């Protein structure tokens, strides 16, 4: 791995951790930034595999709570219901992602205009939802009904379109379905763990014969940087959202998407 490739992996890894858990689309940002840097990974595996670093960031921050869930699982109906809710929310993305994997990676990942338009449309939608006079009925993720978890899981599937944002789709869905802003963001953290871990395993198995030792080293650098920046975001996001809502992220999406559309049209 040369210095340029190392620098690209550092930048993209930091970008992954900074954007994975906020509703701006980490995948969209990685693809656009990668094209600007001239970075290309075999089968777009880098963009998917470094997400495990962000998963471990959530695991490290929420380790105490996850451990409590694990040890109380045999005796606590509340813990079992919460874990079941996360698994049910994960299921739609697992099925649809497996069925459409080739189309997503080979077509949507390779179409920057789709990403830019999705950024703008998603930003406008998030801005509208953030300003709606919604009356939250659910403020604790462990009180989410199983039916609500399943519906949020289907909302997350919109993120199969790069630029939509996994966290953005799940958060927006949760808000419209009656969750408050803080718990919607927190549920997105927990839902990220099986979703991103599943994508990691699926993509690694699918592309294992295409990866070289140099690819592994590049992915390793991106993985570490995604973990470091992901920890910072996970520790601070809930407080930020409670204070400012989601409008700042919506405006960011709109600006980035609009700039991307302008550049693509100018160099068509």
Tens-place pLDDT, residues 216-228 = 888 899 999 999 9
Contact 43/210 with Cβ under 8 angstroms? yes
At residue 52, the pLDDT reads 87
Q: What percent of the chain has pLDDT over 70?
A: 98
- Flag the least confident range among 3-12, 33-42, 68-77, 201-210: 201-210
pLDDT, greater one: 72 or 48: 72
The answer on pLDDT for 100 being more than 90 is: no
Domain span at residue 218?
Answer: 3-266
How far apart CA 169 and CA 151 sit, in angstroms, is 11
Number of domains forming the structure of the chain: 1
Q: What is the rounded average pLDDT for all residues in the chain?
A: 90
Query: Mean pLDDT throughout 15-32?
Result: 91
Compute CA 229 distance to the chain's CA centroid, rounded to the nearest angstrom: 14
Listed residue (79, 87, 195, 63) closest to 143, CA to CA: 79
pTM of this structure: 0.89
pLDDT, greater one: 53 or 106: 53
At residue 43, the pLDDT reads 65
How far apart CA 65 and CA 171 sit, in angstroms, is 21
Any bridge partners for residue 179, and if so which? 138
Residue whose tokens read 């400012």? 244
How far apart CA 237 and CA 22 sit, in angstroms, is 8
């Amino acid at each position: 791995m040369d210095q340029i490739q190392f620098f690209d992996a550092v930048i993209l890894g930091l970008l992954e951790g900074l954007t994975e858990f906020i509703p701006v689309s980490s995948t969209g940002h990685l693809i656009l930034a990668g094209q600007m840097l001239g970075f290309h990974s075999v089968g777009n595996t880098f963009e998917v595999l470094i997400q495990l670093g962000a998963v471990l960031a959530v695991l490290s921050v929420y380790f105490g709570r996850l451990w409590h869930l694990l040890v109380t699982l045999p005796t606590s109906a509340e813990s079992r219901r919460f874990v079941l809710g996360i698994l049910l929310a994960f299921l739609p993305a697992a099925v649809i992602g497996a069925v459409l994997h080739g189309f997503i990676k080979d077509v949507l990942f390779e179409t920057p205009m789709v990403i830019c338009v999705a950024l703008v449309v998603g930003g406008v939608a998030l801005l509208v939802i953030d300003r709606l006079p919604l009356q939250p009925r659910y403020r604790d993720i462990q009180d989410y009904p199983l039916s609500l978890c399943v519906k949020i899981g289907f909302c997350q599937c919109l993120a199969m379109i790069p630029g939509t944002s996994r966290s953005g789709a799940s958060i927006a869905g949760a808000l419209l379905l009656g969750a408050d802003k803080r718990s919607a963001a927190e549920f997105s953290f927990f839902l990220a763990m099986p979703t991103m871990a599943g994508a990691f395993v699926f993509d690694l198995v699918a592309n294992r014969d295409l990866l070289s030792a140099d690819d592994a080293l590049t992915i390793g650098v991106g993985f570490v940087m995604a973990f470091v920046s992901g920890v910072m975001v996970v520790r601070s996001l809930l407080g930020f959202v409670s204070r400012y809502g989601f409008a700042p992220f919506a405006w960011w999406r709109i600006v980035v998407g609009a700039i991307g559309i302008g550049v693509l049209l100018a160099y068509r």
